[in-house]
Structure 1
């Protein structure tokens, strides 16, 4: 029970204060346990960060698994839209999934090629389907997936740093640039 309470406290702090607000002492205090008791459930702060990252990635995977488009290109465009929505509506969970300095974060390219990222694996399947249909060129699926992911995360980073004049401008540019990136591989 305490492990769940500690994790819930960590997620609540992350949701309200972001990555910057996360500390072992703050989590322990919110969970109503001592710092030492917390270490019985999470070996160290890195273990807690890994758990939060896994939670964020699980939330993102759930979003992607709900996409029902049959056409691979339509599915990929739906993923682009879902990524934008996830970044804007669940910013702290998004940060946990993609920006948290968790030691067990997946590494490119080995973890992606090995299928350790369920979402990247789903994306690569759709890219390969589109390639088989003659709608995308011969670039390896992992490279296309990385280009899309890198551009999407980069644009979200720019938005968080207030590099766009408005939220509307960001949304418009995000959609246009990701579609352009995807189409550049055809």
Structure 2
């Protein structure tokens, strides 16, 4: 491959990344309903038609934003050290809260804005063996098998934990509660610990 070819590829990759960054900002600012390719192109310093060299249409760009953001979240979750399942779940809760604070545009693309018209069903989560929920389910199953966690459907357990921590993020964002970063992470840990109890502890 020639030096000129490398330069062209670098330019394409850089432009695509710039479009994605501007699309995340536009999504944060305007939501799905108001999402404008024209504003994305202007922010990226491109003509509106130039975006179509990289993305087929508005839906393809939104799907790419969501895919990139889920990959960022997946990487954060996969960095949690394996070992004690309860400790892993506690750290996952902290990581989710930190993700919402550290990378809010990625967080919103994953969990706030519907970048895809397709809604996931319960059966989709049961079939998924690779996503973060699947990682949670495996840790919950391990904790249940060792008697560390309350028995029951591990996927529903994962949903309960996810709903709890996501609700905390939304309360914090809406000023329903105003907390420092340290206080929010600490509250998230204490709330999670109410679910991450051995059988009989919640009775």
Counterparts of 1:116-135 in structure 2 under 5 Å? Answer: 118-135=131-148
Indicate if the aligned counterparts of 2:94 and 2:188 stay in contact, CA closer than 8 A.
no
CA contact (8 A) 1:128 1:141 kept: yes
Q: Is contact 1:25–1:35 with CA below 8 Å preserved after alignment?
A: yes
* Cα 1:148–1:166 shift into 2, 3 Å: same
1:54 matched residue in structure 2: 67
If you compute each CA radius of gyration, which structure gives the higher value, 1 or 2?
Answer: 2
- The change in CA–CA distance for 1:98 and 1:172 in structure 2 (over 3 A counts) is same
2:21 corresponds to which of 11, 14, 18: 11
Unaligned runs of 5+ in 1: none
* TM superposition shift of 1:98: 1.1
Which runs of no fewer than 5 residues in structure 2 stay unpaired? 1-10
Structure 2 CA distance, aligned partners of 1:110 and 1:71?
28
Q: 1:20 aligns with which of 20, 23, 30?
A: 30
| Aligned 1:69-148 pairs, distance under 5 A | 69-103=82-116, 107-115=120-128, 118-148=131-161
TM-score by length of 1: 0.85
* 3-state SS, counterpart of residue 163 of structure 1: coil
Please state how far the C-alpha of 1:19 moved relative to its aligned partner: 4.4
User: Which of 139, 164, 168 lines up with 2:177 in the alignment?
Assistant: 164
**1:33 Cα deviation (Å)?**
3.0
Q: Confirm or deny: 8 A CA contact 2:85 2:139 kept in the other structure.
A: yes
Aligned CA-pair RMSD: 2.6
TM-score w.r.t. structure 2 length? 0.79
With 106-115 and 117-126 compared, the bigger mean Cα shift is at: 106-115
| In 1, Cα distance between equivalents of 2:96 and 2:41 | 32
